[in-house]
Amino acid sequence: MKIYTKKGDTGKTGVFGGKRIYKDDTRIECIGTLDEVNSTIGLMRSKLGNDHEWQPNLHRVQKDMMNMMSHLARPSDSKKENTNPQPKDGADFCEQWIDEMESKMSSPSDYFLLPGGNEISALCHVCRTQMRRGERTLVTLLKEDPASVHEYISAYINRLSDLFFTMARFEMDKHGVAEEKWNLFLYKRKKKPTK
């Protein structure tokens, strides 16, 4: 079977159930952005090495992303059912991993940071920002076709950006790279007493 079908030459692509929509549709934008994140995770994994402690969890995230993208590709009016797994525990999985990393770090997360540090930390920030863009597009899709966006997807996508922020900090802490701090998080700033 050939990789090219020529069906997309007119600017449309197929979604779950057979319907064809334009490639700049919100649904395709959302899926495409999550695909970008998945590719960046793949790049990071290739740089980490096969024996790195993050490999099993990142492998799971990549598979979960593929499954979530398949569910987002199903409009709510599709008659065809999607039987791919639904990673409904994704947000909990992220929170557990975040808590585990934070318990091993030398300082709490109180500041907005300048992305960078070392190559892996910087890649974590790229994943974080791509994920935030994906989340913004997901919100637009949620407004356009709420029934096609499962609640667990919104929660998982939101938590993944927090996870990548924590991974960036963990990587820097592990290698003794100083964080370049910008400002305290808003909720950490103390309000001046009013007279």
pLDDT tens, position by position, 65-96 = 999 999 999 999 888 899 999 999 999 999 99
Q: Could you give the CA distance from residue 163 to residue 41 in angstroms, rounded to a whole number?
A: 12
pTM of the complete model: 0.85
Write down the CATH superfamily of domain 22-76+85-188. Cobalamin adenosyltransferase-like (1.20.1200.10)
**Predicted pLDDT at 12:** 78
**Chain segment 120-170, per-residue pLDDT in tens:** 999 999 999 999 999 999 999 999 999 999 999 999 999 999 999 999 999
Other CB atoms closer than 10 Å to residue 174's CB: what's the count? 15
Q: Could you give the CA distance from residue 145 to residue 31 in angstroms, rounded to a whole number?
A: 14
Q: Domain coordinates of the chain in residue numbers?
A: 22-76+85-188
If pLDDT is split at 50, 70 and 90, which confidence band does 34 have? very high
Token readout for 29 is: 């934008």
DSSP string for residues in 99-150: HHHHHHSSS---EEE-S-SSHHHHHHHHHHHHHHHHHHHHHHHHHH-GGGS-
Half-sphere exposure of residue 168: CA atoms within 13 angstroms, side-chain side: 27
Nearest to 113 by CA among 172, 176, 156, 155: 172
Half-sphere exposure of residue 142: CA atoms within 13 angstroms, side-chain side: 14
